[in-house]
Chain A
Amino acid sequence: MDTGMQDISKISKVLIGVVLTILGFLMILPFLWMFLSSFKTSTEISLSQSFWPQHWTIDNYKNLFTNGSFDIYVKNTLIITAASFIGLFLNAMAGYGFAKFDFKGRKFLFMAVLATMMIPGQVTMIPVYLILNQMQLTNTLLGIILPGLVGAFGIFLFRQFMSNIPDSIVEAARLDGAGEWYIFFHLILPISKPVLAVQGILTFIGGWNAFLWPLIIANDQKYYTLSVGLQLLQGQHTSDYGLQMAGSSFMVIPIIIIFIIFQKYILQGFNIQMDK
């Protein structure tokens, strides 16, 4: 009977493997197609059905930067992404405060932070726009960056993770002579590496993909981000598919690379065991 069970589990393992491989292939296929198409000329995309480019060309990529303004978009996107990492750091500090310091109104403030998660972003979009307008921050990079700098979800995740760091570690450090900033930078942040990685990836993806808000705030092309710029490639009447594919590939590849590097941390998630 034992061997029977083993056979079954072996067969089911193989079966699952096959199914997953097929599904995985299906998932990856559009990406591959996009990537390969970005090396075709527009005419080839329209006329030929072939998967592989018949004439490899990198003109599409060149075009992004010469005819389009992708260099500006890249710069803006990098600035926004970098700024959102400052936000990540602020989230971490707020989370640490909520997790490890006992101050008056802590519970209430934390509930208030959580409550903001229940309001859909679309609802606050117009009020925030009006506020920014009054502050004369519309059509500026700062206006794009500020509203999303800190967020309830990030604070919440940091707080949850840091609550699990034993108080005694912080206390031991205080007795060892460490100041509060030192503790935060040399103990709390390194210990929080898993959640930092997860949050960092989410932040990067969020910053890199930022679309709707930059679209609303930025009137000027010089403040456009990659995804807004990508949208521009889609003309009203004609579409240069080769250019679009190149733009899309250019956007998605950094994210894939980052995911491959950090997937260990993503999978580790928040289930890290702190104090065995």
Chain B
Amino acid sequence: MVEIKLEHISKKYVGAKGYSVTDFNLKIKDKEFIVFVGPSGCGKSTTLRMIAGLEGITQGGLYIDEKKVNDEAPKDRDIAMVFQNYALYPHMTVFDNMAFGLKLRKYSEVEIEKRVQNAAQILGLADFLKRKPAALSGGQRQRVALGRAIVRDAPIFLMDEPLSNLDAKLRVSMRAEIAKLHRSLKTTTIYVTHDQTEAMTMADRIVVMRDGEIQQVGTPREVYEKPVNVFVADFIGAPATNFFDVTLQDGYVKTEARTFNLAVPEGINKVLKQAGYEGKKLILGVRPEHIHTERAFIETFPSATVKAKVVVSELLGSESILYTKVGDSEFVSKVDARDYLDPDQIVELGFDLNRSHFFDPETKESIL
């Protein structure tokens, strides 16, 4: 049973002008898989390093099981960490790399042997125990780094972009392996990444960060379906959400140049009107996967369609990505592979406004 609590945590580096992390509040539950995600420089790694004790905490309190650990040395926090560059000890064999922490903690030879063999079994490293890291592939090194964390049997795992040095294919398979590992070990895990796909696929809860501040905390579904602001809507999901500057009028949203004129579903229109946006400007966010080319959809919502010119079209196999243009606004849609179109063709696209997002142009916050 372990619970991590971050209360009003801030970090300012010596000599830096501003804060790298500002007022970070989060309660991490036992056995939870938390992912910190955000663009580089958003403070996610800094926060992780503060939890590990590798960086000092400028303000606020860090609690592990109700105990304040701000000033405890990293080794006393009983945390295992996996680094982006694996941080393997280059002069030691795989076995010794994994045994290092155990030897320091004075485990018996028998126990060390048992734990390392067990971890090696789980990670498929049994044949490589006598090798040195230089003789391993990137994926194997990553496994050793994981193994080093596993053998410690620490109640908390921290992972700092552990997959970003791997090639695309390996990343996908390691992603699944880490998720599987978490399911079997049930260790409370905090995972840092800039890759929203990793966040979406692995997390119990996602913490979206930007400029040192938490933007949103929620399950993958929550941050995807109910982004609290333009940034989260933009960052989560690939390809990124399309944004349009529109005005709400008589149940329709239109762009300035009148290239768009989409009927807003009644329920949403009512909420927007109640919030006082009738006749006012809004930001409309529509995900590429919520723009459709299917006849059935277009016939059901004939007043939410746009005729657009294809600029570029990418065929991904099961689907295609259309980069289209209407007037001045360009946007992206993800449609069925059958609807792969050549440039300059005109395509009719239906917008699923029931699943779209509306933001205030001033605050960039979600209205709904």
Contact = CB atoms under 8 A, between A and B. Distances in A.
Interface of A: 166, 168-169, 171-178, 182, 187, 190-191, 193, 274-276
Contact of A172 (B53, B83, B105): B83
A174 B87 contact: no
Given A173-B100, A176-B104, 6 more contacts: A168-B83, A172-B87, A177-B101, A177-B104, A274-B90, A276-B134
24 contacts: A166-B85, A168-B83, A168-B84, A168-B85, A168-B86, A171-B54, A171-B81, A171-B83, A172-B81, A174-B54, A174-B74, A174-B75, A175-B53, A175-B54, A175-B101, A176-B101, A176-B148, A176-B152, A177-B104, A178-B104, A187-B91, A191-B90, A193-B91, A274-B90
Contacts of A178: 75, 100, 104
B71 to A, nearest CB: 15
B323 interface: no
Contacts of B75: 174-178
Interface of B: 52-54, 73-75, 79-81, 83-91, 100-101, 104-105, 134, 148, 152
Given A168-B83, A171-B83, A171-B87, A177 B105 contact: yes
B104 A182 contact: yes
Given A166-B87, A187-B89, A276-B134, A175 B104 contact: no
B90 A175 contact: no
B153 to A, nearest CB: 13
B91 A175 contact: no
B89 A175 contact: no
A74 B91 CA distance: 36
A137 B84 CA distance: 53
Q: Which 7 A-B pairs have the closest CB atoms?
A: A176-B101, A168-B87, A172-B87, A177-B75, A168-B83, A177-B104, A190-B91
Nearest to A170: B87
Nearest to A176: B101
Of B54, B75, B79, B90, chain A has the most CB atoms within 10 Å of the CB of B90
Main secondary structure of the interface of A (DSSP, over half): helix
Nearest to A190: B91
A25 to B, nearest CB: 38
A178 B106 CA distance: 12
A173 B105 CA distance: 12
A131 B27 CA distance: 63
A190 B90 CA distance: 9
Nearest to B152: A176
A274 B90 CA distance: 8
Contacts of B101: 175-177
Nearest to B80: A175
A191 B53 CA distance: 24
A175 B145 CA distance: 13
A178 B101 CA distance: 8
Contact of B79 (A166, A173, A175, A191): A175
A175 B79 CA distance: 7
Contacts of B54: 171, 174-175
Nearest to B158: A175
Contacts of B100: 173, 176, 178
A75 to B, nearest CB: 35
Contacts of A168: 83-87
A3 to B, nearest CB: 38
A166 B86 CA distance: 10
Contacts of B91: 187, 190-191, 193
A276 B136 CA distance: 10
A19 to B, nearest CB: 36
Contacts of A172: 81, 83, 87, 89, 148
